[in-house]
Amino acid sequence: MQNNNKIQIEVNVKFLFGLEQGLPIENRQVTVKLSEQYTVKHLIEVLENMYPRLKENIRYGGNFVSYLNIVVNGCEVLPIHAGNREITTGDQVVLMYVGVGG
């Protein structure tokens, strides 16, 4: 998707399994507007600017933690593929930890 037309999109982001801990987010979800780039990677960068503590929850040593789980409209996206995964208005992005045990 080209970004020179400056279209603004709105994406719903949901935080699950404690990933929202320490963030001033109500009901574990937030709507984010993007107008520069339209990828999951950019969305996360925007979120990290909005909520600096988010970095502590999803990165270690600058890299995404191995147990970060990104789901776009019900489909899993590996963090290393976040730069290629495009999103658009109406998409729902879930950020959570890959749960263990059970």
Partner 1 sequence: MSKYSAYCGKLLRVNLTNSVISEENIEDEILEKYIGCNGLGAYYLYKETKKGVEPLGEDNKLIFFTGPLTGTIFPSAPKVGIFSKSPLTKGFMDSYAGGHLGAELKFSGYDGLIIEGKSEKPVYLWINDGCAELRDASDYWGKTTTATREAIKRDLNEPLVRIAAIGPSGEKLVSYSCIMVDGTHAAGRGGLGAIMGAKNLKAVAVKGTKNCIRIAHKEETQKIVDDLFHEIRTNKVLNSGLPTYGTTGATTANNSTGILGTRNWQTETFEDAEKISNVELADKLFEKTLSCFQCPVRCIHFCKIKDGKYSGLETVKPQYETVYSFGSLCGISEPNVIAMANHLCNEAGLDTISVGVSIAFIMECFEKGILMEPDLNGIKAEFGNSDSLISLLEKVAANSGIGEFIGQGTKIMSEKLGQGTEKFAIHIKGLELAGHSVRGYKGMSLGYAVSPRGGSHQDMRHLPERSGQFDRRSIEGKEQLVHNVMATTVIRDSFTYCAMVEDNIGRVGLTEKHLNIINAICGFNFDLADLQKISDRIINLERCFSVREGMDRKDDILPERFMTEPIPEGPSEGMYTPKEELDIMLDKYYQLRGWDANGVPLFETIKELNLDDIIQVPLR
Pair 40, 72: CB distance under 8 Å: yes
Pair 43, 15: CB distance under 8 Å: no
For residue 30, the cross-strand partners are 13
Distance CA 58, CA 6 (A): 28
Binding mask 39-58 for partner 1 (x = CB under 8 A): ------------------x-
- Of the pair 35, 90, the CB lying nearest partner 1 is at 90
Give the total of residues touching partner 1 (CB under 8 A).
30
Sequence letter at residue 48: E
Q: Give the one residue of 1, 3, 7, 18 binding partner 1; rule: CB under 8 A.
A: 18
Distance CA 47, CA 93 (A): 12
Q: Give the one residue of 21, 49, 63, 84 binding partner 1; rule: CB under 8 A.
A: 21
29 touches partner 1 by CB under 8 A: no
Binding site for partner 1 (CB under 8 A): 14, 16-19, 21, 28, 57, 60, 65-67, 69-71, 73-78, 81, 94, 96-102
